Each structure stands twice: as structure tokens, then as C-alpha cells.
Amino acid sequence: MIVVDTNLVSELLRGSPQPEVLSWWNSQIPGDLFITVITEAEMRYGAAIMSPGRRLQELLIKIEYMLSDYFDGRVLSFDVLAAREYARMLADRRELGRSLPIHDGMIAAIAYSNGAAVASRNVPDFTDCGVQLINPWQI
């Protein structure tokens, strides 16, 4: 099980994703890939702040496809177990003198509580959270 971070979904929604990212994506079993409600919120927010027009309409179509078709039934929620892990991760990172970005921390906690790895370009944001990290930009 792999939780796909928002930056990876965003890369895939671009007109021309990086070849190494596309290669990694195409080598995965779709049923092993999940997103979180945090990524859904971040994607919808990104669209909500765009100016009306053709680019926005194209993005909305891609977002709906990703959520309704590709990741249908594979969107993980932030639940009680994730909340407990999130608190632990914040405390652990604080002890190390490192902050933890809220959204990345929540994604890490959801992944950890589901026994999943995280695929992201932002490896430092997930380091020392206890999750296996995959950087499709460097594979």
C-alpha cells in the first residue's frame, strides 16, 4: 500500500509529467495506490483559487477523474488512529528540533496508521515520521 502525496498527484495532472515520475507511476499496481482526504482538499483548494477559464475547467475534469474514477474507494480518512500518530509525530519531530508541516504530517499519520508507504517529492517533510518513503523523481 502506497499513499500518494499531493505533489505527486499534481505532477501527474500536469500536461507533461516528468518522465521518471510517469515511469514509476505506470509500473505500480493501481489497487496499491491510495490518496488521503488531505490531498483531496489540497487539490480542490488549488482549483478554488484559480481564475475562471479553460485551464480551471480542464483541471476540474482531471481532479474529478482522479477522485471519482482512478482513486474510487481508495481515499483514506484522518481518523482517531491517525490523530494519535499525528500527535506522536509532532512530538517526535519537536524533540529533534524539526517542525512538521500540518498537511504533510496528517498525510504521514494516515499512511502510518494504515501501514502504508508515502510517495512524495518532499522527502524531508516525511523523514523521521516512521513511514517508508518513496521519491518517484529519484527512481
Specify the residue for cell string 494504515.
114
- pLDDT tens readout for residues 84-134: 999 999 999 999 999 999 999 999 999 999 999 999 999 999 999 999 999
* List of domains in the chain: 2-138 (3.40.50.1010)
Question: How many Cβ atoms sit within 10 Å of the Cβ of residue 11?
Answer: 18
- pLDDT tens readout for residues 47-56: 999 899 998 9
Specify the residue for cell string 499513499.
3
Strand ranges of the sheet holding 2-4, from the earlier edge strand across to the other edge = 75-76, 33-36, 2-4, 117-119, 133-134
Cα distance between residue 85 and residue 80, in whole Å: 9
Q: What is the pLDDT of residue 14?
A: 85
Q: What is the pLDDT of residue 6?
A: 96
- pLDDT band for 76, please (50, 70, 90 cuts): very high
Going 112 to 113 to 117 to 121, the CA torsion angle's sign is negative
Query: Do 24 and 138 touch, CB atoms closer than 8 A?
Result: no
User: Cell triple for residue 123?
Assistant: 522527502
Q: What is the pLDDT of residue 79?
A: 98
